[in-house]
Structure 1
Amino acid sequence: MPKIRLTIPASTTNLGCGFDCLGIALTLYNVVEVEFTEKPGLFIKVEGEGEELIPTNENNIIFPAIKMVFERAGKKLTGIKIREINSIPLQRGLGSSAATRLGGIIAASYLLNINLSEGDILKMATFLEGHPDNVAASFLGGFVAVARPSDDNGMPLWIKLDVPDPLRLALVIPQIEVSTEKARRILPSKVSLSDAVFNLSRLALLIPSLTKGIWDNFPLVTQDRIHQPYRSSLIPGMYDVFKAALDAGAKGVFLSGAGSSIAAFVLEREARKVGEAMQKEFFKRGIKSTVRILSVDKKGVRIDEKNK
């Protein structure tokens, strides 16, 4: 029976000032295997991160992604077997849901022999995810800037940019779950003009600074007034962790996505020191955490195995 195996990278987004429009793919991965079965029904097995929490029925977020492709093709979904091998932590701001949804869309399109464009895939994944930054980064790889049109039926626009090879990201992943829905509800519906200008001026500098490796700009260009101040209430000591990272040699530091992970731009020589400094700051508050030193994944989603 037709089968496909995909590897999908994690992503870190916002990068401070670039709320909902900037993302970077990371060298941390989920694997999705999907195959048709002669026996009717939905068969899902989850391994690794979230295996005790993720549903193995139609409530699994991969199912609507697969179903969307079948409906687009006018096909009936009968027997399908799914295996998820997860290394991306859940509800930590690292794009676990985006990776799963992308896996479902791409796997279903391949098995049905549907030729979806990059734009089609991003549009469908963004519709399910609600925002385009994680899906664009994980799908395309590298450093991505993306915009969603005001018309929800329109095609997202994106550009993939190169980043210097020495760049690493030191992540501290605390044992604090932050759902994207909760982290969005806490945000105001409007921001002041001064806060908008604050972010826009930093965003204008962040993109060329990152692509050219102008690290001296990073303590400033990763600052934010639109989302991080509000989300800090969900993450005890967030700004103290930021300070610890900068004091230890980080180039810049920011809340990864909706949190709770905190990411720091580093060069390899200071990566471990920065990660441990952030971890120590959480430990002072009785919060356990894990440190990961990751590189930028420049390839995005890849097909590891396929047969028809």
Structure 2
Amino acid sequence: MQIKVPASSANLGPGFDSIGVAISLYLTIDVLEETEHWVVDHDLGDLPRDEKNMIVASALKIKPDLAPRHLRVKSDIPLAHGLGSSSSAIVGGIELADKLGGMHLAPHEKIELASQLEGHPDNVAPTILGSLVVGCKVNGHFTAVKAPVPPFAMIAYIPAYNLKTSDARAVLPKELSFKDAVQASAVANTAVAALFAQDYEKAGELMEADLFHERYRSKLVPELEIIRNVGHSHGAVATYLSGAGPTVMSLVDPQHISDFIDAVRQAGLKDEIRRLEVAPRGAYWL
């Protein structure tokens, strides 16, 4: 048995901790034989290889009496790069508990459990549902709504350096003024409306008008402004900081992908560029 879990790209500018999109990078978990103790084989550096691994730890929080298994884990998702690697691990653990524990969880139940573990739904919800998802916490529970799939390539510029989410959150202000909060929320609300209306010209402008986090984090990821400026004249609908960064994501018209990538290189940025797509399907079993 095998679990496939997509990566995710969160925030899309003003949708801070609320909007995310599943993307075509995958965490793959081969579920092998039962064992005396949990064994997790992987080539992902010094991550735990026992019950402390985030996949197993998440599964055991949902189903503490789950029988130990031998797992083989592979991942295309860069760690500490704003592409939802921890959320994919959490969702993988929930899928493991659901299937092996016979829990028969509905998608909304998986979102609730994953959001409780992660703290917010922006990465876990699209990882579960696929596509583009908007979510929040309300009245003590989490809720999420699936949006239309944007018809663009997702071009990720992935800097060689890591950026811990905790470090990226440390540069954010503890509070915003009422006036700034109203404007930031208005931008986010209108961006969501434009995405649902599939008015991507308006959506793109609004995605680049965030007031919640990018203006503070851009000093940690100087590539954001460079790529955003390149995109304005080379076919990008919008460029935003993926999650907490440092990955910079651009929604690019498929006809302009080569031109856009060439322009990024000409701007002097030499780190990895990946052409990705929106993953229409969330986590699933093979």
TM (norm. structure 1) is: 0.86
Match of 1:240 among 223, 226, 232: 226
Q: Which of 213, 231, 251 is the matching residue for 1:265?
A: 251
TM superposition shift of 1:15: 0.5
Structure 2 CA distance for aligned equivalents of residues 276 and 199 of structure 1: 33
Once superposed, what is the RMSD of the aligned Cα atoms? Answer: 1.9
Task: Work out the CA distance in 2 between the residues paired with 1:60 and 1:279.
Answer: 37
Shift of 1:148: 1.4
Structure 1 residue corresponding to 2:162, chosen from 177, 180, 184: 177
Residue deviations 1:225-257 (CA, integer Å, cap 9, x gap): 111111112213432222122232211111001
Give the equivalent residue in structure 1 for 2:60.
Answer: 67
Match of 2:38 in 1: 42
SS in 2 for 1:133: coil
Q: How far, CA to CA, are the matches of 1:303 and 1:118 in structure 2? A: 14
1:225–1:267: structure 2 CA closer, same or farther, 3 Å change rule? same
Distance 1:183 1:89 in 2: 17
| Mapped partners of 1:120, 1:214: distance in 2 | 31
* 2:37 maps to amino acid: G
Match of 1:168 among 143, 149, 153: 153
Contact 2:32 2:72 in 1 (8 A): no
Letter in 1 for 2:127: S
Match of 2:92 in 1: 103
The letter for the 2-side match of 1:106 is E
Partner of 1:297, secondary structure, is coil
SS in structure 2 of the partner of residue 265 of structure 1? strand
CA–CA distance in structure 2, aligned partners of residues 107 and 29 of structure 1: 16
Alpha-carbon distance, 1:183 to partner: 1.4
2:202 pairs with 1:220: no
Structure 2, unpaired ranges of 5+: none
Stretches of 4+ aligned residues off by more than 6 angstroms? none
**Which residues of structure 1 form unaligned runs of 5+?**
none
Opposite residue 231 of structure 1, the aligned amino acid is R
**Aligned 8 A contact 1:279 1:290 in 2:** no
**What CA distance in whole angstroms lies between the structure 1 residues aligned with 2:190 and 2:110?**
30
| Separation in 1, partners of 2:260, 2:162 | 22
Alpha-carbon deviations, 1:111-133, whole Å to 9, x = none?
11112222221122112222211
8 Å CA contact 2:87, 2:124 repeated in 1: yes
- Residues 204-242 of structure 1: CA deviation (Å, up to 9, x unaligned): 222232234323224420121111111112213432222
Deviations 1:167-191 (A, max 9, x none): 2211111112111122122211211
Q: Residue in 2 aligned with 1:194?
A: 179
Deviation at 1:34, TM superposition (A): 2.5
CA distance in 1, matches of 2:163, 2:266: 20
Aligned to 1:24: 21
Q: Given residue 298 of structure 1, which amino acid in structure 2 is its aligned partner?
A: P
- How many Å separate the matches in 2 of 1:280 and 1:45? 40
Confirm or deny: 8 A CA contact 2:188 2:210 kept in the other structure: no
How far residue 66 of structure 1 moved from its aligned partner, in angstroms, is: 1.4
The answer to whether the aligner puts 1:290 opposite 2:276 as a matched pair is no
Structure 2 SS opposite 1:57 = coil
